[in-house]
Amino acid sequence: MPPVGKPYHHGNLRAALLERAEEILATTGASALSLRELAREAGVSHGAPRRHFPHKQALLDALAEQGFERLGRELDANMAAAQGTFTDRLIVFAQTYVHFAAGHPALLALMHTSNDRPDAGHLRAANDRAFAAPKALIADARRRGDIAGTDPDRVAMTVLALLQGLAVLVTTGLSGKRPLDTLVSDTIEVLVDGLRPRAETASP
């Protein structure tokens, strides 16, 4: 530990704290996170982490924002490379999201609960950035007539709720032996079939 009064110089302390905090979040939950304990593990003074995170909530918010940024990068990269029909591209989004959700359940839960606070505008902005590509895909499908004339935001929320359910099935083992990508693609195909415009029924 550095001598009292001598500033601690660590070029990557913030990143190191976030990395260890995410590990603790994944294994024992947010309640086990402590800035003092993180400082002890990093070998710095107990006040050093507060230069980056004034309190525990700031640390949790930084974890959530980092999670949105990571998810957004994965979605942007995979969807930019996706080709084919609306269904094909929606499957790419769904598979990317469920892989992330199944691999980081505690982080994802933190991400989705942290941005509900009135003072968490930066997290809501991070959420919007992360989901910009799939939202644009759904809005474009609506304009092109690939899906029925309903609010794109309602469709996006329906898809997200469905994917959250699939992630739970995967992480709890309730999906059985079915491969994750097959489970997701089959489910999305059923969903899109229900979203397709239907011919008007002729009046008798």
Instruction: Give residue 45's pLDDT.
Output: 92
Tokens of 113: 């609960």
154-201 pLDDT, tens digit each: 888 889 899 999 999 998 888 888 899 999 999 999 988 888 886 544
With a cut of 80, say whether residue 12 has pLDDT above it.
Answer: yes
Cβ neighbours for 95, distance < 8 A, ≥ 6 positions apart: 180, 181, 184, 185
Selected from 1.10.10, 3.10.150, 2.60.120, 3.40.50, the CATH number assigned to the domain covering 1-54 reads: 1.10.10
Quote the CA–CA distance of 184 and 90 in Å, as a whole number. 10
With a cut of 50, say whether residue 204 has pLDDT above it.
Answer: no
Domains 1-54 and 60-195 share a fold: no
Quote the CA–CA distance of 140 and 134 in Å, as a whole number. 10
Alpha helices in the chain (DSSP H): 13-28, 35-42, 56-81, 86-103, 105-114, 121-130, 132-144, 152-172, 180-195
Tokens of 166: 């699939």
Q: Predicted confidence band at 115 (pLDDT cuts at 50, 70, 90)?
A: confident
With a cut of 60, say whether residue 14 has pLDDT above it.
Answer: yes
With a cut of 60, say whether residue 203 has pLDDT above it.
Answer: no
Q: What are the sequence ranges of the domains in the chain?
A: 1-54, 60-195
67-96 pLDDT, tens digit each: 999 999 999 999 999 999 999 999 999 999
Q: Is the separation of the CB atoms in 116 and 127 below 8 Å?
A: no
Q: Predicted confidence band at 36 (pLDDT cuts at 50, 70, 90)?
A: very high
Count of other CB atoms within 10 angstroms of residue 134: 23
Instruction: Give residue 185's pLDDT.
Output: 95
Q: Predicted confidence band at 8 (pLDDT cuts at 50, 70, 90)?
A: very low
Q: Percentage of residues in the chain with pLDDT exceeding 90?
A: 68
- Which burial class, exposed, middle or buried, applies to 112 when counting CB atoms under 10 A from its CB (0-12, 13-18, 19+)? middle
With a cut of 50, say whether residue 7 has pLDDT above it.
Answer: no
Quote the CA–CA distance of 146 and 22 in Å, as a whole number. 40
Q: Looking at the domain 60-195, which fold is it?
A: Tetracycline Repressor; domain 2 (1.10.357)
Lowest mean pLDDT among 110-119, 148-157, 195-204: 195-204
Tokens of 44: 């710095």
Coil, strand, or helix at residue 177? coil
Q: What is the rounded average pLDDT for all residues in the chain?
A: 88
Q: Predicted confidence band at 11 (pLDDT cuts at 50, 70, 90)?
A: low
Integer angstrom CA distances of residue 29 from 3, 18, 26, 109? 32, 14, 6, 10
Q: Which amino acid is at 203?
A: S
Quote the CA–CA distance of 13 and 18 in Å, as a whole number. 9
Instruction: Give residue 149's pLDDT.
Output: 67
